[in-house]
Copies of this chain bind each other. A is one copy, B any other.
Amino acid sequence: MGRVVRERREALGLTQEELGERCNLHRTYIGSIERGERNLSLQNIERIAHALGILAWELVRAAEDRR
């Protein structure tokens, strides 16, 4: 999930801080997600997906396809 979030964020030209502001999560939390240190909740998956301009299931699918 982390790599997908990072790639999508970078593709949008956003910093971790900017992504964090979009979904009301701290940039350090975004960083820990991208490093794969978090077992995200569905609500946070939805918030991050929407901040990245995609749906939650699309984010989950992209992460599953990576495994």
Q: Which A residues have a C-beta under 8 Å from some C-beta of B? A: 1, 39-43, 45, 55-58, 60-61, 63-64
Contacts and interface: CB of A to CB of B under 8 A. Distances in A.
Q: Is the interface of A mostly helix, strand, loop or mixed?
A: helix
A42 B64 CA distance: 11
A50 to B, nearest CB: 11
A65 to B, nearest CB: 9
Contacts of A40: 41-42
A63 B46 CA distance: 12
B39 A41 contact: yes
A42 B43 contact: no
A60 B57 CA distance: 5
